[in-house]
Amino acid sequence: MLKKCMGDPSLIIPTENIGIKDSLSYEEILVQILDCQVRKLRTKEVASVKVPWRNQFVEEATWEAEDDMKKKYPHLFESGEVQN
């Protein structure tokens, strides 16, 4: 059974400060590059980078293709080193 609930207007957060789009989604932003690795397949080698995303913990960092990350975030690769 549902009960009637009275909302507290002081707990409402304006969406302009958060940056939520009209579709109720937001863009994840790459924070830094934690690690790099090259995986050898049968016919080629695939370079990957380990990246944490904004609003997530380091334990939830993901491995992404290095080429894709260079296209989207070239400023992180300008120094030529992995940031720790």
The predicted model gives 52-63 an average pLDDT of: 79
Give, rounded to a whole angstrom, the gap between the first and last alpha carbons of the chain.
Answer: 52
- pTM, two decimals, is 0.57
Nearest to 37 by CA among 62, 74, 72, 73: 62
Query: pLDDT grade, residue 39 (50/70/90)?
Result: very high
pLDDT for 19: 63
Q: Are 54 and 81 in contact (CB under 8 A)?
A: no
**Does domain 35-84 fall into CATH 1.10.1660?**
no
Q: Among 62, 75, 71, which residue's Cα sits nearest to residue 28?
A: 62
pLDDT for residue 83 is more than 60: no
pLDDT of residue 49: 92
